[in-house]
Amino acid sequence: MGPPGPTEGIVLTLRRGEASLTGIVVNPKGEPLAGSLVEAFPAALTDGGSGSPAATARTAKDGSFALEKVGNPGEPLRIFIHAEGYRLEKSADRSAGDRGVRFVVKPNARVRGKVVVKGTGLPPKQTFDPFALLSIEVNPKNPKSMRIKGPVQTMMPHVDLGADGSFSTVAEPGPADVTIEMNGYATVTIPTIVGEDGVDLGTIELVSTREK
C-alpha cells in the first residue's frame, strides 16, 4: 500500500455556534438548585444590544446544565441565572467552551416592616379602589446595580401585604429609600441600607391628612 495522498487544501473548521458551556447551579450551602433557568448571551449583546439568548437550559435535579451551541470557542458570554427565591445571577467572565462552571446564587434580600395608622395602631383599611391602595416601593440609591442591560427587562418587585399591615418585598442589597403612599395619608420615605439578609423597618405610622 502506498503512502497517503496529499492533504493540501483540506481545512478543518468548527462552525460558529458549536461550542457549548456546562456547569452546575448551587446555593451558598452547596445544595443544587433544580429547575433554574440558565441563559447565555454574547457579552457584546448585553452591553447595549437587544435580542434573544444564544442558548437556554434548565438545571437538572443535581443542579447541572448544558448550554449547547452558544458561540465560537472562547467567545465571551454573559450568563443569567433565574432561580426562584434567589437573586438574579449575572456572570460576565465566561466563555463558550467552558466546562464544569460552578455558579453560586444568593437568596433574595427582603425589606420587611409593618404599616399602621398613627393614633390607632391599626393597619390602614384596604379597598377595591385602585387609587386608595397602599403602595410600597423600594428605590435603590444606586440604580445602576438594579439595571440589567440588553434583552432582560426589570419589573417592580411584588409586595406581600398582610391583613395586620405587615409587608415584605424583594430588594437589592445596598442603600435605598422605601416610599410608602396611600390616599388620605402623608407620604413616608425612609432611607435605609438593605443588608445581605435584608432589613426590618419595624412599625411605620401613617399620619392622616383628612380634615377632622
pLDDT range class, residue 101, cuts 50, 70, 90: very high
Higher pLDDT, 170 or 132: 170
Cα 147 from chain centre: 10
Cα 177 from chain centre: 19
Buried b (16+ CB within 10 A) or exposed e, 176-197: bebebebeebeebebebebeee
DSSP string covering 2-40, please?
Answer: PPPPP-TT------TT-EEEEEEEE-TTS-B-TT-EEEE
Mean pLDDT of the chain: 81
- Ranked by mean pLDDT, the top range of 10-24, 151-165, 166-180 is 166-180
pLDDT range class, residue 199, cuts 50, 70, 90: very high
Q: Specify the pTM.
A: 0.64
Q: Residue 92's CB: how many other CB atoms inside 10 A?
A: 12
44 membership: H or E segment, kind and range: helix 43-46
What's the one-letter identity of residue 39?
A: E
- The pLDDT of 114-138, averaged and rounded, is 78
- 28 φ/ψ sector (left φ>0, alpha ψ -120 to 50, else beta): alpha
Whether residue 67 is predicted with pLDDT greater than 50 in this model: the reply is yes
What's the one-letter identity of residue 140?
A: P
What's the one-letter identity of residue 190?
A: I
Nearest to 164 by CA among 128, 126, 206: 126
